[in-house]
Amino acid sequence: MGLQATNAGIDFQQRVSAYMMMLMEFDMDISLALQLNRNDKIEELNFESSESIDDLVITLDSGKRIYFQAKRTISLSDSIDSEFYGVCTQFVKQYLKQNGNDIAYILATRSETSKSITVKLKRILEGIRLANNLQVIEDLNQEERKIFDKICNNIKRIYKDLKKENISDENLLNIFLRIYIEMFDIENGEEYEKTIKLILFNLISVDAELFWRTLISKAVEYGANRIHLSKQALKEQCRSYLEANKGTKSEFSEQFFKVSWKGGFRNIEVQVDYVIAIPTKETEEAMELENKTVFVFELYRFDNSKKKDSLKYIPPDRMKWKEGFEFEVWFRCATKERCHKYVEHELSEKIGDSYEVVVWPIKEHFDCTDVEILHKDVLLKSLDNQKECICANCGKAIFDDDPYLIEIDNEECSDMVGMVHHNCIRPVDRIVGEIIIPQIEDFSYLKHFDINTWGKLIKKGKQAWNNIEKMATRCPQMTIDTDEVFHDGNYCLYHILENGDKKYLTNRGVIDRISKREAELLQQKFTTQMKEAKAKGNPFGYSSKSFIYGPYAQIIEQVGDREEFIECVETKVALYNEFVARIYNDCETYYAPIIYLSVDGEPFILPNDFFPMVVNPFELPKYIKNWEKMGFAMPDYEVCIIRNDNEFILKMVCLITNHILPVVNGMFGSDGSMIRGIHMHLMWELQMENARRSESAAISEN
């Protein structure tokens, strides 16, 4: 069993290292993975270094260095034989080297590690960094003060053993300012690993799964041999791998956003337009055409003056000639081959025998002029600047197996290259290539999913759903108070628990700021409720892990025997303090991010009038399979992201006021009855229901 744990720990360490290799290879900011508020990129990686913190050392392009100690799981301890004491020893030893470029000592672990470290110690360290002093410790509750005292005593003891003197307050603060707790749930099949693979689909044109496994195996090799890896060396190795494994119709480029398409990455044809169009009525008369005619044009874009004045395109489907002729465009592209393909397969079906087809070819072909070559360079630069996989027309994410690359060249905008969904192409859009995202069919259910945005958001929120997952009930309810809008006061409330801890009242995961008057009124209300409830033998309190608040009977019903009940004994008013808030705030976003489906721009509603939302997008297929058992076929949908809490609340209000029932992770019986899921309600719904019950009770008594 010990060997298995060691192997699991090594695998975790190398996966973290592989993730850092990916950031270095694709020139991504370190802030995408770490709490560091820096725009630096990784320049070098040192595996199993000779430094005191030795698992991985990162050198940024600014010359600053970050040290990683990876522990798959670890417990808080002040025992000198513990892993945590060993990590503290490494941190102190590294600090004593007094290298001015050292900016962070990272304890990398997983969310399943002790909450004393992943939640509470992480909060304490963030509060110290925000305040830039240790005075914030005075405001910690009893449990968190014990946690701080353990790590503090570890550092003091280690420092004295090494230096033979007591540590100064300044040195103690400087060590704490460098310590970070980072969580990487990055093991095989986990949501964050899947997100990394999907990001790779947007970055490379080869097998992303194989590429990720290759990075992990390389990390194992580099760790075993204590390799010092530069960005240039990694790029050379990746280039060799990518060249060796790419398909015949894929290419790789070194820009941030990787895109490939059939025909070659740099082969944008700029000289000629291939346009299929029909003349307007006026042009038809001017050309003295006797039959309904569709033209297949081959047209030089630049005239003799080396300007694009001879042709003008007006969205969505008009082409005007300098001579005054005007046509309705059906199709426009950059190559003869693509034009022929359209004529053979799509045009013949569209016109049948009702149109005469007239081909209008170029009589003489010339080499590209300097102006045309310069125009191509402008387009390639526009393509190189593409940072996200976003449709140039609809603005939504591209996560499909048949998108196109177009040159945008019309009366509204020109000299740009963009990516578009197949069904978003306008007739005047000049198609220059087909985008290839390898193996995207494995995630075909994530239609139009913005994977880049999701990757940035998932580490910051979803606290609400994480808490509810710990509850025993199968169909819990969550209530949203829509009056929680103007909360800018200078006061807050906290409960004192029977174990001596403080528990601040929060609003969507952050300490609630209210006025002094409201705080005092709420204090009186809580005090009265707690006295009355305790007298009835049903005191108010919190569950020990998910911190659900309520009377004892309700808490036990919700969490069962999974958690303990901690009673509230007193409620107090306090001045709001930003430093304290950073320690006790649970998350940046409470509900978001979360996905839902839309159909033709409208929210997808199930036949039983439920609006389904899903916390983990990679589990969407199992929910769709369940929904279809109600006897309907899923329509063509898009996957949308609710990105912040305000957007979430606004959507819930809109749905509920229209008698639609929002549900998170909902699963249903064949009759439409809800089996699992989280009901979403508004506070005013419950207030109205309580009022109706009171009215009914009064009528019954009379």
Q: 79 by DSSP, 3-state: which?
A: coil
140 within 8 A of 124, measured Cβ to Cβ: yes
3-state secondary structure 303-330: CCCCCCCCEEEECCCEEEECCCCEEEEE
651 within 8 A of 682, measured Cβ to Cβ: no
Same-domain pairing of 510 and 393: no
Tell whether 206 is covered by a domain.
no
Same-domain pairing of 43 and 120: yes
* pLDDT at residue 697 tops 70: no
Tell whether 148 is covered by a domain.
yes
Cα separation, 55 vs 44, whole angstroms:
14
Same-domain pairing of 286 and 353: yes
- Which of 632, 618, 622 lies closest to 670 in space, CA to CA? 632
* pLDDT at residue 616 tops 80: yes
Over the range 439-475, which residues count as b (16 or more CB within 10 Å of their CB) and which as e? ebeebeebbbbbbbebbebbbebbbbbebbebbeeee
Tell whether 701 is covered by a domain.
no
Average pLDDT in the 518-527 region?
94
Average pLDDT in the 565-593 region?
85
Same-domain pairing of 158 and 283: no
Tell whether 289 is covered by a domain.
yes
| Look-up of token digits 């125009």 | 375
Bridge partners of residue 479, in order along the sequence: 681
Same-domain pairing of 492 and 416: no
pLDDT of residue 305: 62
Q: 352 by DSSP, 3-state: which?
A: coil
* pLDDT at residue 78 tops 80: yes
**DSSP code, position 343:** I
Number of domains in the chain: 4
Cα separation, 639 vs 641, whole angstroms:
7
pLDDT of residue 310: 78
Same-domain pairing of 20 and 161: yes
- Which of 240, 231, 127, 256 lies closest to 181 in space, CA to CA? 127
Cα separation, 60 vs 47, whole angstroms:
15
pLDDT of residue 698: 64
* pLDDT at residue 198 tops 80: no
Neighbours of 209 (CB within 10 A): 14
* pLDDT at residue 540 tops 50: yes
Cα separation, 544 vs 551, whole angstroms:
14
Same-domain pairing of 26 and 124: yes
Q: Which of 543, 563, 584 is the last residue of a domain?
A: 584
Mean pLDDT is lowest, of 53-62, 266-275, 576-585, for 576-585
Same-domain pairing of 599 and 567: no
Domain that holds residue 639: 594-686
Predicted confidence band of residue 460 (pLDDT cuts 50, 70, 90): low
- Which of 72, 227, 144, 183 lies closest to 582 in space, CA to CA? 144
Same-domain pairing of 553 and 631: no
Tell whether 215 is covered by a domain.
no
pLDDT of residue 589: 83
pLDDT in tens, 152-174: 999 999 999 999 999 999 999 99
Tell whether 350 is covered by a domain.
yes
Q: 32 by DSSP, 3-state: which?
A: helix
Same-domain pairing of 560 and 631: no
pLDDT in tens, 666-692: 999 999 999 999 888 887 776 676 667
Cα separation, 553 vs 539, whole angstroms:
9
pLDDT of residue 701: 65
As a whole number of Å, the CA-based R_g of the chain is 31
* pLDDT at residue 71 tops 60: yes
| Look-up of token digits 């001045």 | 575
Tell whether 243 is covered by a domain.
no
pLDDT of residue 253: 27
Same-domain pairing of 579 and 657: no
Q: Measure the CA angle with vertex 182, ends 177 and 184; round to 5°.
A: 170
Average pLDDT score over the chain: 85
Q: Residue 195 class from Cβ within 10 Å (0-12 exposed, 13-18 middle, 19+ buried)?
A: buried
Mean pLDDT is lowest, of 71-80, 177-186, 342-351, 540-549, for 540-549
Same-domain pairing of 153 and 68: yes
Mean pLDDT is lowest, of 124-128, 234-238, 322-326, 530-534, for 234-238
Long-range contacts for 624-628 (Cβ within 8 Å, ≥24 apart)?
Answer: 624/445, 626/667, 626/668, 627/668
Q: Which two tokens stand for residue 308?
A: 């694009």
Q: Which two tokens stand for residue 4?
A: 């298995």
